[in-house]
Chain A
Amino acid sequence: MPVREGIYGLLAEFNTPGELVVATEEARRAGYRRMECYTPYPVEEAAEALEFHKNRVPMVCLLGGLMGVTTSFLMETWISVWAYPLNIAGRPLFSWPAFIIPAYEWTILFAGLSAGFGMLALNGLPQLYHPLFNAPNFRNGATTDKFFLCLESVDPKFSPTETRSFLEQFHAVSVVEVEL
């Protein structure tokens, strides 16, 4: 990986979600690809504007659930039929209706843990350091009441001067450089 130097990107701050969405759509239209919006609550229109559709959380959750049901049902069968067979009121050793209940619970357990931790993993969290926290106005607003668009310097179209003037046409409260 080459040594990254210079700036991470240009960060535009907006007061309303509407301004952010318009700016994002325009940036996308102008050919920018490496960018991200930062909002204090989920703004679906911003995800639309970023054309972000590759959400793999449901798949991770499904795989977890399938793993849970298989693991627990096979484990119960192995334990009750082979490992530790017990005669309980004359019931068959493979009394599968009774096995459904723990298997059901473990399906939910594995699926839920996969959804939760899978989401964190796909998001690359925990990541306690990020260049954006260097921006002076980011922490004051991104988790409270401001809406940010960051055009990143790794984008081939990025140029410190042109990108700045591009962002400034959208009535941004401020456009600041984010140090790496």
Chain B
Amino acid sequence: MATQQPINDPMIDPKTGEYAVIAPGHNFKSVTQKIAGLVLTSNTPLGWFFGLMVAGCVASLVVVAVTWLFLKGVGIWGITMPGAWGFAIINFVWWIGIGHAGTLISAILLLFKQTWRNSINRFAEAMTIFAVVCAGMFPLLHVGRPWLGYWLFPYPNTMNIWPQFRSPLAWDVFAVSTYATISVVFWYIGMIPDFGTLRDRATLPLARYFYGMLSLGWRGSTRHWIRYETASLLLAGLSTPLVLSVHTVISFDFAVAALAGWHTTIFPPYFVAGAVYSGFAMVLTLAIPIRKFYHMEDLVTLRHLDNMAKVMLATGSIVAYGYGMEVFMSWYSASHWEFFMMWNRMFGPMWWGYWMLILTNIAIPLTTLWSRKLRVNVGYLFVLSFIVNIGMWFERFVIVVTSLYREYLPSSWGTYVATKWDYMLFIGTWGLFTCLFLLFVRFLPIIPMSEIRMMLPQTKITRRGPEAETVIEETT
């Protein structure tokens, strides 16, 4: 059923019936003033301080949990044999998956010339980096002696030992460190022209100095712009295979192991799709409050929310196919172990995890996102984004825990119970993520100004020089 839209809604393009990407009436100056104003304003909203305070308190849980961990060791966590991969790995995969939507938006959608992404790519990239910060912490702490974490890298040392390159865990080090580095470089390079704008518009000497240093002396020279655009495209072209490879390598951590429930070839595509699914949910979680509190409804429009919901529908369907295939293969493989693993997931002691996952990842989103009315319902999308991220957390919980605690020999069966230190560290990372994001929103341009300018109608080149005018005079 076609939904009825008010015909005189200025946000709807009369030609296509779609919501506009940018509200009409903007020009170069107005978008610049609006976005730069958020950063350069002298009165910070009180809500920001309040948010930072709350998030800071939550983030301090990380400090407490990590300090106690350093004093006592990983024994304070719920990990034990056979469930040696508990919250640490679940949370690592969950956070890094969230980060993937940022790269998808900034890289893949740039290559596909999806210009609507311009409004949301900066904060989606910021989300990526902060999610990788949270994610990277977990495997490092999980190794038990994080102060020796640099042993993971190949460097000449007096012990004469080197990494073992046939192990997926060594691949992980390369994949995640490359991902973090390239994401930061891409993000920073994207901000250089905007730092130039902030430097030129700042009135406080300190701000002018700060943004002036960050802008590296950017002056908008055409030759610079052309090289800059090439570098951005190349970085996008490189980030695209990178983002696909990172979650593929993470899925290898599981798929290369000979454990029922892990040893499957569908893991790489299904992990990547799940990562993008949860990442877009997180972009919605962040975009919806930001556009509301900073009155960005004219730059992050309903079109963006609608499009993101569509991407979630598509990737969610791939994830659903992955779940379906897991069930099918556990029967079709005729392997006793596979069959038992799936039966145990559905009806074993932790049945609630599996059904929670089906409910939050499949049943709720994939039935409702077909409706355009719901896709442009801001409140619904906000709630849904939380539901999907809960679902994606449960996906990793089900994969990690229910595969491990019922392994081949019934004599080694066990269970997994997370301790308060597990919860404290996990909840603390939410606070850390929120803190970093609030600082980003206050001090860095959250929407790329130069890219928004490129989408305005004023960019159209109309040749009106001395010659053209003489022609007009002659004809009249």
A58-B465 contact, Cβ under 8 Å, with A41-B453, A106-B174, A127-B217: no
The answer to whether A130 touches B32 (Cβ under 8 A) is no
Closest residue to B249 on the A side, CB-wise?
A101
The answer to whether A144 touches B29 (Cβ under 8 A) is yes
Cβ–Cβ < 8 Å partners of A38 in chain B: 219-222
Chain A, range 114-169, C-beta contacts under 8 Å to B: 115-116, 118-120, 122-123, 125-130, 132-133, 138-140, 142-145, 169
Closest residue to A56 on the B side, CB-wise?
B227
Q: Write the B443-476 contact mask toward A (1 if CB under 8 angstroms, else 0).
A: 0000000110110001111111111100000000
Cβ–Cβ < 8 Å partners of A4 in chain B: none
The answer to whether A102 touches B226 (Cβ under 8 A) is no
Looking at the assembled complex, report how far the CB atom of B26 sits from the nearest CB atom of chain A, in whole angstroms.
Answer: 11
The answer to whether A143 touches B212 (Cβ under 8 A) is no
Cα A39 to Cα B219 in complex, Å, equals 8
Chain B, range 216-265, C-beta contacts under 8 Å to A: 216-231, 234-235, 238-239, 241-242, 245, 249, 252
Looking at the assembled complex, report how far the CB atom of B304 sits from the nearest CB atom of chain A, in whole angstroms.
Answer: 20
The answer to whether B231 touches A116 (Cβ under 8 A) is yes
The answer to whether A108 touches B178 (Cβ under 8 A) is yes
Q: Does B440 reach chain A (CB closer than 8 Å)?
A: no
Contact among A17, A133, A145 for B219, CB-based, below 8 A: A133
Cβ–Cβ < 8 Å partners of A18 in chain B: 460-464
Contact among B27, B154, B249 for A75, CB-based, below 8 A: B154
Cα A106 to Cα B242 in complex, Å, equals 10
A57-B219 contact, Cβ under 8 Å, with A22-B464, A128-B212: no
Q: Does A67 reach chain B (CB closer than 8 Å)?
A: no
Q: Does A10 reach chain B (CB closer than 8 Å)?
A: no
| Interface majority SS (helix, strand, loop, mixed), chain B | helix
Q: Does A175 reach chain B (CB closer than 8 Å)?
A: no
Looking at the assembled complex, report how far the CB atom of A123 sits from the nearest CB atom of chain B, in whole angstroms.
Answer: 5
The answer to whether A169 touches B466 (Cβ under 8 A) is yes
A116-B162 contact, Cβ under 8 Å, with A39-B220, A130-B219: no
Interface size of A as a range: 35 or more
Chain A, range 15-59, C-beta contacts under 8 Å to B: 16-19, 21-23, 26, 36-47, 50, 52, 55, 57-58
A132-B225 contact, Cβ under 8 Å, with A88-B164, A102-B165: no
Q: Does B8 reach chain A (CB closer than 8 Å)?
A: no
The answer to whether A19 touches B29 (Cβ under 8 A) is no
The answer to whether B238 touches A104 (Cβ under 8 A) is no
Cα A119 to Cα B227 in complex, Å, equals 6
Chain B, range 188-239, C-beta contacts under 8 Å to A: 189, 192-193, 196-197, 199-201, 212-213, 216-231, 234-235, 238-239
The answer to whether A41 touches B459 (Cβ under 8 A) is yes
Looking at the assembled complex, report how far the CB atom of A77 sits from the nearest CB atom of chain B, in whole angstroms.
Answer: 9
The answer to whether A109 touches B216 (Cβ under 8 A) is no
The answer to whether A145 touches B245 (Cβ under 8 A) is no
The answer to whether B171 touches A102 (Cβ under 8 A) is yes
Cβ–Cβ < 8 Å partners of A132 in chain B: 219
A61-B234 contact, Cβ under 8 Å, with A37-B222, A50-B222: yes
Q: Does A66 reach chain B (CB closer than 8 Å)?
A: no
The answer to whether A116 touches B242 (Cβ under 8 A) is no
Cβ–Cβ < 8 Å partners of A76 in chain B: 165
The answer to whether B249 touches A112 (Cβ under 8 A) is no
Closest residue to B230 on the A side, CB-wise?
A57
Q: Kindly name the residue among B189, B230, B242, B459 whose own CB sees the greatest number of chain A CB atoms within 10 A.
A: B230
Q: Does A12 reach chain B (CB closer than 8 Å)?
A: no
Q: Write the B11-37 contact mask toward A (1 if CB under 8 angstroms, else 0).
A: 000000000000000011100100000
Contact among A125, A140, A144 for B218, CB-based, below 8 A: A125
The answer to whether B234 touches A36 (Cβ under 8 A) is no
Cα A140 to Cα B202 in complex, Å, equals 10
Q: Does B161 reach chain A (CB closer than 8 Å)?
A: yes
Q: Does B149 reach chain A (CB closer than 8 Å)?
A: no
Cβ–Cβ < 8 Å partners of B27 in chain A: 145
Cα A99 to Cα B27 in complex, Å, equals 52
The answer to whether B226 touches A40 (Cβ under 8 A) is no
Q: Does B307 reach chain A (CB closer than 8 Å)?
A: no
Q: Does B163 reach chain A (CB closer than 8 Å)?
A: yes
Cα A21 to Cα B27 in complex, Å, equals 19
Cβ–Cβ < 8 Å partners of A118 in chain B: 231
Cβ–Cβ < 8 Å partners of B459 in chain A: 17, 41, 43
Looking at the assembled complex, report how far the CB atom of A127 sits from the nearest CB atom of chain B, in whole angstroms.
Answer: 4
Cα A109 to Cα B238 in complex, Å, equals 9
Q: Does B181 reach chain A (CB closer than 8 Å)?
A: yes
Cα A22 to Cα B212 in complex, Å, equals 31
Q: Kindly name the residue among B27, B165, B192, B461 whose own CB sees the greatest number of chain A CB atoms within 10 A.
A: B165
The answer to whether B185 touches A42 (Cβ under 8 A) is no
Cα A123 to Cα B218 in complex, Å, equals 9
The 5 closest A-B pairs by CB, nearest first: A22-B465, A145-B28, A119-B231, A126-B216, A42-B225
28 example contacts (A-B, Cβ-Cβ < 8 A) are as follows A17-B458, A18-B461, A18-B464, A22-B463, A22-B464, A38-B222, A40-B197, A40-B453, A41-B453, A41-B459, A42-B228, A50-B222, A61-B231, A79-B154, A91-B166, A95-B166, A101-B175, A105-B242, A108-B182, A108-B245, A109-B182, A113-B181, A116-B186, A116-B235, A119-B230, A125-B216, A143-B196, A144-B28
B residues whose Cβ falls under 8 Å from a Cβ of A: 27-29, 32, 154, 160-167, 170-171, 174-175, 178, 181-182, 185-186, 189, 192-193, 196-197, 199-201, 212-213, 216-231, 234-235, 238-239, 241-242, 245, 249, 252, 450-451, 453-454, 458-468
